[in-house]
């Protein structure tokens, strides 16, 4: 299963638009990856507990785990589209969004070692 984990400030604009952002994430994921389903989770962090380069941060972190390989063009398009709708919905800048993709075909369960 593909997953997206979103880490945002509880009092921030992204948290206020969580439903709209989640729908956009699902639609984007299905469109970019041929209808693939995705499990989305949210972590709301209290103000003053997120930092970038040691300073308080208002950034949103969107960590995507995809099953199977993608091309560079697919990754760039996927990540750019997230940044585009995130800024449209929240009004934040590209500098306040961190999007990552990890391609992992078989994730270990919680009782398995990553190195096994």
Q: What is the pLDDT of residue 113?
A: 52
* Count of helices and strands (H, E) across the chain: 3, 6
Under-50 pLDDT residues of the chain: 116
d(CA 114, CA 54) in angstroms, rounded, equals: 29
- Token output for 31: 């469109």
Pairwise CA distance, residues 81 & 69, whole Å: 19
Domain segments of the chain as ranges: 2-103
At residue 55, the pLDDT reads 84
Contacts of residue 50, defined as CB under 8 A and 6 or more positions apart, other chains included, come to 7, 9, 56, 57, 58, 59
Q: Residues 60-82: pLDDT tens digits?
A: 999 999 987 889 999 999 999 99
Instruction: Give the per-residue pLDDT at 107.
Output: 56
CA distance 47 to 40: 22
Domain 2-103: give its CATH architecture: 2-Layer Sandwich (3.30)
Spatial separation of the C-alpha atoms in residues 26 and 48, rounded to whole Å: 29
Identify the pLDDT of residue 44: 96
| pTM (2 d.p.) | 0.85
Percent of the chain residues past pLDDT 90, beyond the cut: 72
């Amino acid at each position: 299963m593909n997953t997206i984990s979103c880490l945002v400030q509880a009092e921030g604009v992204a948290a206020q638009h969580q439903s709209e952002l989640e729908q956009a994430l699902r639609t984007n994921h299905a469109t970019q990856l041929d209808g693939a389903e995705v499990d989305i989770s949210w972590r709301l962090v209290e103000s003053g507990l997120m930092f970038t380069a040691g300073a308080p941060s208002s950034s949103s972190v969107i960590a995507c785990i995809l099953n199977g390989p993608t091309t560079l063009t697919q990754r760039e398009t996927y990540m750019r589209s997230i940044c585009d709708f995130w800024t449209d919905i929240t009004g934040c800048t590209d500098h306040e969004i961190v999007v990552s993709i990890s391609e992992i075909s078989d994730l270990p369960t919680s009782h398995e070692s990553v190195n096994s």
